[in-house]
Amino acid sequence: MLRKNMTEQEKVLWNILRNNRFYGLKFRRQVPIGNYVADFVCEIHNVIIELD
């Protein structure tokens, strides 16, 4: 399920990942994958980051 509000930890990580700030890699957040929604995804390198 997509969420509007990020946790504080997700906000910190998203600030690092967004706008290609992390080694020039493009990350997206809240990406549906089948019946699941991944927190952060870099599709070009097949990287999924889940933050609990």
Mean pLDDT per block of 10 residues along the chain (52 residues) reads 80 95 95 94 96 85
Q: Is position 3 within any domain?
A: no
**What confidence score (pLDDT) does residue 1 get?**
59
> Could you tell me if residue 44 is inside a domain?
yes
* Structural domain includes residue 33: yes
Residue 2 lies in a domain: no
Q: Which pLDDT does position 49 carry in this prediction?
A: 96
Q: Count up the domains in the chain and report the number.
A: 1
30 in helix, strand or coil?
strand
What pLDDT does residue 34 have?
A: 94
Residue 15 inside a domain? The answer is yes
Q: What local confidence, expressed as pLDDT, does residue 42 receive? A: 97
SS3 8: helix
Give the model's pLDDT for residue 48.
Answer: 97
Domain hosting residue 28, numbered range: 8-49
Going across the sheet that includes 36-42, the strands are 28-33, 36-42, 47-49
